[in-house]
Structure 1
Amino acid sequence: MSEHRRRMREAGFRSIQVWVPDTRAKNFAAEAHRQSAMAADAATHSDDQEWIEAVSVSWDDE
């Protein structure tokens, strides 16, 4: 593994660690459903969404 990391660094890459939700956790499906329901019940247009759209760069704009 250290050889692989060395080669990757030499190729210009760097290692990072990313924490993601554990989809195997017993409460994952229920929490995902709860959050999805909250998003679906949210107003279709809000001040928060306007701000996000204002500061976001569209891939089409580049």
Structure 2
Amino acid sequence: MKVKHRVSEYRRRMRARGLRPVQIWVPDVRSERFAREAHRQAGIVAGSDELADDQPFVEAITASWDEE
């Protein structure tokens, strides 16, 4: 059985079960660009103690789970 036929049969069976294919694109965590950006963002998070006034603001505008 050829790969193309196996794939189409698999997809047919999955659709018969009420499922549908979904394709998503995610960052390539192996790339140098990703590593640089992750390092940059980690530095921002590490320095977040300097931005301590943000958290009270976030809490002030956030609804409690119990209120919904």
> Could you tell me the TM-score, scaled by structure 2's length?
0.58
Moved beyond 6 Å, runs of 4+? none
> Could you tell me the TM-score, scaled by structure 1's length?
0.62
Gaps of 5+ in 1: 58-62
Alignment: residue pair count:
54
Cα distance in 2 between the residues matched to 1:14 and 1:54: 35
Give the residue type in structure 2 aligned to 1:18. I
Pair 1:33 & 2:39 matched: yes
Gaps of 5+ in 2: 1-6
Q: Which has the larger radius of gyration?
A: 2
Cα distance in 2 between the residues matched to 1:36 and 1:54: 28
State the superposition RMSD in angstroms: 2.4
Q: Which residue of 2 aligns with 1:19?
A: 25
Q: Aligned in 2, Cα 1:36/1:16: closer, same or farther, shift over 3 Å?
A: same
1:4-44 CA-to-partner distances (Å, cap 9, x unmatched) read 11111111111111110011212221111111221332335
1:1-62 map, 5 Å: 1-42=7-48, 43-44=51-52, 45=55, 47=57, 49-50=58-59, 51=61, 53-54=62-63
**Which structure features the higher share of helix residues?**
2
- Percent sequence identity is 46
